[in-house]
Structure 1
Amino acid sequence: MKFSKNSYWIQSGIYTTLQKFAIIFFNFGGFYFLVRTYSKTEFGIYALFTTIFYLIETARAGLIRNSQVKFLASEPEEEHPFINTASLVMNVVFTLATSVIIVAIASYLTDIWKAPNLDLMLYYSLLTSFALIPSTQFEFIQHARGDFKGVFIATIARYGTIFLFILISYLVDYKYSLVTLVNIQTIAALIGSLVSYLAVRKALQFSASLSKEWFNKIFHYGKYTFGTNVSAMVNKNIDQAMLGSMISTASVATYTAALRISTLIEAPTLSVATIVFPQSAKRMQSEGPAAVKYLYEKSVGILIAIMLPAMIFVLVFPKFIIQVIAGDNYLDTVPILQVTIIYSFFVPYARQFGTVLDSIGKPKVNFYFVIFGACLTALFNYLYISRFGLIGAVYGTLTTYAIVFTLNQIILKRLMDIRTVNTFIYARNFYIDLFNIAVTKMKLGGLQINIKN
């Protein structure tokens, strides 16, 4: 039984990590070819469109996924059809509501950002949103069942389809509009839905009627996650939105190039947060705050140790990295990249702060902090962009990160006696352990050679 349980966690961890890195790979690969296909102005428009689209999808996941997964995993099987139907109805209602909002604001956003055809892109993206209804429902059910392999394959099918279209079009020099690219995303969503259905079809259970009780339970459980996710996305992307309205879409393209590179370096924080959350929640109940303190300090320390070499490399060779990844047309990104890499240092602390607060039953505190951060980002970006132009966006975001980091550490110190200095000690120990492992392996390798001789 123990072996089976361990195998489950190992397999789940592998597929979850593979899924996250597959999304990063396909998105980054698409970025690599898109910046060589479109002008800066066009790519800036696409970046703004993507910001809006993923804001909606993040909100959908926050409202529904955690609720459905929790209830399907904890409630008796006879309740599952009612849970699935309530979740599906909420998914449809959410998509209809966001569609109405998009139709209402599409023309306004097109004008304020001076982004030709953005309204058409947003209108066509509504088809993608509806195509994602079955895909997300099937994915949530698979999460509850622990079938992460099916989710991984569906992710490959969806994101791989978009990437292949971009890659092949680039190789054969096929010119396509941004609206066409949006339509390809709809096709990819349908393909992903089909693959998800094939993986979960035997487990699909729906009731013939809607349970208001389950509808309300799912809504009330998910509303804080919904609010946190939306606020976090706004906080993360408000600088791009303000650049688009205060300067130009071309400046958004320049800024986005730096963010894409920073995202690669921050990638390990995604997987570690996924692993730490269930562990910290479990150990909080069984061992108390001291165990959560240890998990936070050690996980952040390891993340800093993993990210630091890449951060130093980017700081020393920013021009080389920009030329390789985005091309000479984006060399004005160099000073922006150097600042975004500096505030990447704060990301592990911020991400694990939210993970710890959620795991100890304080999601409201995390929610309020995210909103506070979004307000600070908007304020500092407006002031700094007005004064310094494009580079002001990164200065504004860096200022916000520094302030929020300081407040986060004060709160964690009061709640669980978490000490920032310990994260650096764990980071140092990580390097020492790696060195000792390498020396041991070299000695064993030399011993084996001597024995053979």
Structure 2
Amino acid sequence: MSLLKEILNKIKSSALLKSGLAVTAAKSFVIIGNFLIFFILVRICTPTDFGTWILYTSIIVIFEVANNSFVSNAIIKYYNDYRGELSGKFIYNAFAFSLFLTLVISLLLFVSIYFINLIYNSSYLNELLWYGPLILLCSGLINVLNCIEQGNLRFYGQLISSILKSGIFIIYLFYLFLTKSSYDLHHFVIVNIIAGFLSLLLVFFTTKKYFRLTMKYDFIIIKKIAKYGFFTFGIEVIGQISGNIGQLISGALLSPAAVGIINVATRVLQFIEIPLQSVSSVLMPQGVITLKEKGIDGIKILYEKSSALIVVVMLPILILFFVFSDQVIYLIAGENFGQASILLKIIIFYSLFKPFGRNAGVILNAIGKTRINFFMILIPTAINLIFNYYLIKQLGVRVNAFKFDLKF
């Protein structure tokens, strides 16, 4: 009992520990929520509809990451430079740039729909993508609010928005599953939009105490955000594309059902993303502060400790998944996705290297070396794209597991 009390006191006295727990809770809920969504979807949807939904979410997430990543790290990095009376002006310009960027990304999405139709030849998929700008608007504004909160080393907005956005969709799917009602993928998108707007309202009321707006345009602030954000934008978007290359190419060359098989294998390993994403979220603002206070030597120690921590947490889970891959696939997806077992084993192997690359990228962003990080991701992604295209075309869906996962 005394040990428990000591742990609680240590958490209460450490802002970093409290923030880390909030981020871990948020990331855990997102990943567990996504898993529950997947678990229900494979049981209520046909393989083709399930594959179409995965293609839709994969494409939308790429545009969503493009929209959010351009400003998120830049806001966290420069927020502390505009404290006090200047914070209102910085926040106003950050919001203005974010809204402008959402408009540009939405226009790019509309243009892309034509080319997506040529690649996938799916009118159903195209119809779903037209809802995209509403998704981008909600997530973009939530992202700015969360970044302002993170600049204060608080992360509760992430937790709140994660619970609400995922929770509403899970409840809706659970209702369909229990009542055996018919479904429509259009309704899935609409429910997600409603959940996004409700999350935005709730996050606004919980984070508004951190800012006041000074409605004054400042080109210098916009330039700082845009210049820093360009490379982090490229890093995040390329990383997202790299992570979904197999699914996107399989959907184009094979069928939506093939996308479902790949997604089943990769979905299992989302649980290891909990420590990865949690540490990454805390590492960025902590890295900025550590660089100022302790210099590069402090950054090195921070990188080593954070990477070691993730490996220690991940290893037992990966070993269990590797040994019982057949049973795990059968348990979560049923007998229709048995091919995913071999994919899972190979993905587990290269997942051991993820913490080192992921944390290296975050640290490079924190110390302002975004250009180096950009090319560290661009080159392996290009190799992945080439090999996935030609090998999937010749050998089918199983080859997706053998992709050259060199990226950070």
TM-score normalised over the length of structure 2? 0.90
Residue 272 of structure 1 and its aligned partner are, at CA, apart by: 2.7
CA root-mean-square deviation: 2.5
Higher relative contact order (CA closer than 8 Å, sequence separation 6+): 2
Structure 1 runs (4+) deviating above 6 angstroms are: none
The answer for the alignment partner of 1:245 in structure 2 is: 252
Residue 235 of structure 1 and its aligned partner are, at CA, apart by: 1.4
Identity of aligned residues (%): 27
| Counterpart-to-counterpart distance in 2, 1:95 and 1:228 | 18
Deviations 1:283-334 (A, max 9, x none): 5566665554444444434433332222222222111101111111211211
| 3-state secondary structure, aligned to 1:205 | coil
Distance 1:149 1:335, change over 3 A: same
Residue 349 of structure 1 and its aligned partner are, at CA, apart by: 2.2
Residue 113 of structure 1 and its aligned partner are, at CA, apart by: 1.7
Q: Which has the larger radius of gyration?
A: 1
8 Å CA contact 2:24, 2:274 repeated in 1: no
| Counterpart-to-counterpart distance in 1, 2:391 and 2:74 | 40
Deviations 1:333-361 (A, max 9, x none): 11111111122122122212213433454
The code of the aligned residue for 2:342 comes to: P
Distance 1:284 1:77, change over 3 A: closer
Whether 1:225 and 2:232 are equivalent positions in the alignment is yes
| Structure 1 residue ranges without an equivalent (≥5) | 406-453
The answer for the alignment partner of 1:428 in structure 2 is: none
Deviations 1:206-233 (A, max 9, x none): 2334222322222112222111111111
The answer for the alignment partner of 1:411 in structure 2 is: none
Deviations 1:53-98 (A, max 9, x none): 1112212221112222333322132222222221222122111112
Tell me which moved more, 245-254 or 296-305. 296-305
The answer for the alignment partner of 1:175 in structure 2 is: 182
| Counterpart-to-counterpart distance in 1, 2:296 and 2:219 | 38
| Counterpart-to-counterpart distance in 1, 2:44 and 2:132 | 21
Whether 1:358 and 2:370 are equivalent positions in the alignment is no
Distance 1:382 1:334, change over 3 A: same
TM-score normalised over the length of structure 1? 0.81
The answer for the alignment partner of 1:81 in structure 2 is: 88
Whether 1:69 and 2:76 are equivalent positions in the alignment is yes
The answer for the alignment partner of 2:7 in structure 1 is: none
Whether 1:50 and 2:57 are equivalent positions in the alignment is yes
8 Å CA contact 1:125, 1:183 repeated in 2: no
The code of the aligned residue for 2:245 comes to: I
| Structure 2 residue ranges without an equivalent (≥5) | 1-9
Within the candidate set 254, 257, 266, 1:259 is matched to 266
Residue 155 of structure 1 and its aligned partner are, at CA, apart by: 2.2
The code of the aligned residue for 2:221 comes to: W
The answer for the alignment partner of 1:37 in structure 2 is: 44
8 Å CA contact 1:125, 1:186 repeated in 2: no
Whether 1:391 and 2:398 are equivalent positions in the alignment is yes
| Counterpart-to-counterpart distance in 2, 1:212 and 1:284 | 27
8 Å CA contact 1:68, 1:87 repeated in 2: yes
The answer for the alignment partner of 1:317 in structure 2 is: 324
Whether 1:129 and 2:132 are equivalent positions in the alignment is no
The code of the aligned residue for 2:173 comes to: I
| Counterpart-to-counterpart distance in 2, 1:337 and 1:72 | 41
Q: Residues 8-407 of structure 1: matches in 2 within 5 Å? A: 8-277=15-284, 291-396=298-403, 399-401=404-406
| Counterpart-to-counterpart distance in 2, 1:358 and 1:214 | 18
Deviations 1:143-187 (A, max 9, x none): 233442233223212221112111222112222211110111110
